[in-house]
Structure 1
Amino acid sequence: MITVRPVQSARDWADFAAVYRTVYRDDPHALPDEPIDLTILRRPNPELAQERRFQAFVARDGDRPVGRVVAIHDLAFTQYTGESLGFFGFYEAIDDHVVATDLLDAAAAWVSVRGLATMAGPFSPSMFYSAGIVVDAQARLPLIGMPHNPLYYAEQFEKWGLVGMKDFYSYRFDEPYQMFCSEKFARHKQLYERVSARSEITFRRMRYRTLARDTEIIRELYNTTFKDFWGFSPLSRPEMRDLQKMMLPILDPHLTLLAEYQGTPVAFFMGIPDANQAMERASRFRFRWVRDVATLWYVKGPKPTRLMDGVRVDMMLVDSTCPDRSVASQVIVEMWRRIEERGYTRMEGAPVLDDSEWMKGSVLSRVEMGPYRTYRIYSRDLDPA
């Protein structure tokens, strides 16, 4: 018999974590450990607790944990957008329609009781972390910071009544700087060289000694750049600090690219080494702490590119008021150049929204490239509580 109950005790949290191992036990592309640190649920940042309420649920078949979900009310999002929208996230379940239905029913009931009319997701716990599920049929090692899941999740969601509301993609480029230097791009490269020669744009990387200041610059650029994008709500300082703590151990500072115009920050672009390749290599070790140490060694060791050939690029932030209209192109080419300089041979851009005119118009139309991976966010209107 399937039962779904709120997560309250330490035993409940242990069962919540155990669901991941149950679902991915036979998945050859899954990593052995959770992609997101569950301490953000068990011991949330007290400052963020003022912005976000949630309730975790775990499904059991007898004593065996077989599914989980978290219902989320993002108060900052609701206050900013005025939308009556709740979220669900951290969803994992075995291939059983009853388990899926009972979990989503529990999440929907909690969201509805809080007076919210629609439930959307998965968000784990927000757009700033992991969002959506993979819906393309090609099985691959997950990209760092992006979802990975069994393909039957889409069927579970749709049977329950969830409808796809937003698709987003990743796009893969092999040796992107070499592509830019090829004959096909000769005219674009000549134009770029003329424009950049007379430009006042300069570049620098994030610095540890000014990390707090640089992080605040990035937060302000994010809030300026994405204010008109779908799903946006301002990124708060506590959320930014949490994201920084999560990303800092694996970042390559050379791929944290700040652009300045006459000394004023106007753009940011980030390349994240695909540490999942290192985690896959470390998965041969039995104990979690050994896997963590090994992963960091493979990422930060003397020659990490022996294990990681890929970089995920994200956080393309450009101040639209910058007088130099070439700043976006310059940041992209400079990132491509640095990726090659650091010894990486593969770049994957993600997430790219399905209505992102900049990405589709300025890059993809010239290389005639389709998405490498497809992700989807779902939603459903709820019955009144």
Structure 2
Amino acid sequence: MITVVPVQSSSDWDDFESVYSHVYANDPNGLPDEIIDVGTTLRSPADALAATRRVQAFVALDDHRPVGRVAAIHDLAFTEYTGESLGFFGFYEAVDDHRVAEVLLDAASTWLTEQGLAQMAGPFSPSMFYSAGIVVDPEPKLPLIGMPHNPPHYAAQFEKWGLTGIKDFYSYRFDEPYQMFCSEKFARHKQLYERVSTRSEVTFRTMKYRTLRKDSEIVRELYNTTFKDFWGFSPLSSEEMLSLQKMMLPVLDRRLTILAEYRGKPVGFFMGFPDANQAIARAARFRRRWVRDVATLWYVKGPRRKHLIDGARVDMMLVDSSCPDRSVASQMIVEMWRRIEERGYTRMEGAPILDDSEWMKGSVLARVEMSPYRTYRIYRCELAIR
């Protein structure tokens, strides 16, 4: 018999976390550990972060065996900023059994209704800034670092329950992107870029460890400015931005963090980091978590990194729209491509991307004809009609 219980005790949280390893035990593309840490985001968040969200987690049990989980999230900052009566569900994991999906989504939707909310959307784990959506590609792939990965049955579970896809995001893959830009096909665009960049007063610098808090605040302000009209956006706090920056530090390649300045004023940010999932997959053979963590860092930072990790993910294209120089986005893209080659990566994947984003409107990328490499989807439903 399938039952669902609200997570309250320490043992409940242990069951909640154990669902992940159970669901991905036989997934050839699954990773042994979760990227988004349940402990610091749900179980014991910092006080400043806990004050902005109300959360209730649930576990589905099959004769006392954890077989599914979900978190219902009332993002108070989002509600205050947008005025929308919208709650979220996230951290969803479930075995391939619709009874499990049904009790989990029923529990999440009931709790959000009790909070006075009229709609539910997700998955958000716990927000758009961390992880959103599920993969809906028919062909399974090793997940991209920091992006969702899930069994193929999740979309069917959501849709059968009554959720409808409302927003798609994509990743785009480029093999040797700087060499592509330097090819004969792009000769005219490269000449134009060189003329524009030569006259431009935009300069680039790399984020510094010793000024991480200051640089993090610059990125936060650019993020809040760039995405203020983006669906699902709410302003990011200093604490949350710094927390995520620290989470990424162990795998960060600082040369792939680009801060653009115009006459000394920050006007853009673009970030890339090694596709550490290649290293995590290699370290999965070790049984203990701490050994896997040490091995992963060795693979990412050690002398054999270029032989083990060939790809980088790029994200957070942030541009101050008030900057007089309209070439900032294109300049950052080409600068990133140049640095990716310099650092020895041969593959780049940009995610998450909307078709109408700065990425795809940029003068360089507008000339590249390609289909998305991966597709991610967010779902929503009305709570009042259930």
Match of 1:48 in 2: 49
Structure 1, 358-367 or 75-84: larger mean CA deviation: 358-367
Distance in 2, Cα, partners of 1:358 & 1:43: 36
Distance in 2, Cα, partners of 1:92 & 1:362: 40
SS in 1 for 2:47: coil
User: Which residue identity is paired with 1:183?
Assistant: E
Match of 1:285 in 2: 286
C-alpha contact (below 8 Å) 2:169/2:352 kept by paired residues: yes
Cα deviations across residues 203-260 of structure 1 (Å, max 9, x unaligned)? 1100111111111000001111111111111111111121112111110000000011
SS in 2 for 1:279: helix
Residue 311 of structure 2 is aligned to residue 317 of structure 1: no
Query: Alpha carbons of 1:209 and 1:357: their partners in 2 closer, same or farther (altered >3 Å)?
Result: closer
Give the deviation of 1:272 after TM superposition.
1.4
SS in 2 for 1:15: helix
Match of 1:61 in 2: 62
Query: Alpha carbons of 1:384 and 1:367: their partners in 2 closer, same or farther (altered >3 Å)?
Result: closer
Give the deviation of 1:383 after TM superposition.
2.2
Structure 1, 299-308 or 166-175: larger mean CA deviation: 299-308
C-alpha contact (below 8 Å) 1:59/1:67 kept by paired residues: yes
Residue 172 of structure 2 is aligned to residue 171 of structure 1: yes
RMSD, aligned CA:
1.2
Structure 1, 68-77 or 19-28: larger mean CA deviation: 19-28
C-alpha contact (below 8 Å) 1:166/1:354 kept by paired residues: no
Match of 2:261 in 1: 260
Distance in 2, Cα, partners of 1:95 & 1:384: 26
Query: Alpha carbons of 1:380 and 1:363: their partners in 2 closer, same or farther (altered >3 Å)?
Result: farther
Residue 296 of structure 2 is aligned to residue 295 of structure 1: yes
Residue 202 of structure 2 is aligned to residue 206 of structure 1: no
C-alpha contact (below 8 Å) 1:117/1:384 kept by paired residues: no
User: Which residue identity is paired with 1:9?
Assistant: S
Query: Alpha carbons of 1:343 and 1:278: their partners in 2 closer, same or farther (altered >3 Å)?
Result: same
Residue 341 of structure 2 is aligned to residue 375 of structure 1: no
Distance in 2, Cα, partners of 1:383 & 1:98: 22
C-alpha contact (below 8 Å) 2:330/2:362 kept by paired residues: no
Distance in 1, Cα, partners of 2:166 & 2:268: 29
Distance in 2, Cα, partners of 1:384 & 1:309: 49
User: Which residue identity is paired with 1:19?
Assistant: V
Distance in 2, Cα, partners of 1:364 & 1:198: 21
Distance in 1, Cα, partners of 2:337 & 2:313: 12
Query: Alpha carbons of 1:354 and 1:97: their partners in 2 closer, same or farther (altered >3 Å)?
Result: farther
Match of 2:21 in 1: 21
- 4+ long deviations beyond 3 Å: 360-365
Give the TM-score normalised by the residue count of structure 2: 0.98
Match of 1:227 in 2: 228
Identical-pair percentage: 77
C-alpha contact (below 8 Å) 1:60/1:67 kept by paired residues: yes
Structure 1, 105-114 or 225-234: larger mean CA deviation: 225-234
Distance in 2, Cα, partners of 1:100 & 1:364: 40
| Superposed counterparts of 1:151-170, under 5 Å | 151-170=152-171
Match of 1:306 in 2: 307
Query: Alpha carbons of 1:360 and 1:197: their partners in 2 closer, same or farther (altered >3 Å)?
Result: closer
Give the deviation of 1:357 after TM superposition.
6.4
Distance in 2, Cα, partners of 1:252 & 1:361: 24
Give the deviation of 1:17 after TM superposition.
1.1
Give the TM-score normalised by the residue count of structure 1: 0.98
Match of 1:11 in 2: 11
Give the deviation of 1:365 after TM superposition.
4.0
C-alpha contact (below 8 Å) 2:189/2:364 kept by paired residues: no
C-alpha contact (below 8 Å) 2:168/2:354 kept by paired residues: yes
- What is the aligned residue count? 385
Give the deviation of 1:354 after TM superposition.
4.2
Cα deviations across residues 279-315 of structure 1 (Å, max 9, x unaligned)? 0110011111100010011111123121111110001
User: Which residue identity is paired with 2:338?
Assistant: R
User: Which residue identity is paired with 2:212?
Assistant: L
C-alpha contact (below 8 Å) 1:163/1:380 kept by paired residues: yes
Distance in 1, Cα, partners of 2:183 & 2:217: 38
C-alpha contact (below 8 Å) 2:2/2:62 kept by paired residues: yes
Where in structure 1 are there 5+ consecutive unaligned residues? none
SS in 1 for 2:200: coil
Distance in 2, Cα, partners of 1:340 & 1:355: 27
Distance in 2, Cα, partners of 1:231 & 1:362: 27
C-alpha contact (below 8 Å) 2:68/2:100 kept by paired residues: yes
Give the deviation of 1:35 after TM superposition.
2.0
Match of 1:338 in 2: 339
Distance in 2, Cα, partners of 1:231 & 1:69: 19
Cα deviations across residues 328-355 of structure 1 (Å, max 9, x unaligned)? 1111100000000000000000001244
User: Which residue identity is paired with 1:145?
Assistant: G
Match of 1:249 in 2: 250
User: Which residue identity is paired with 1:168?
Assistant: F
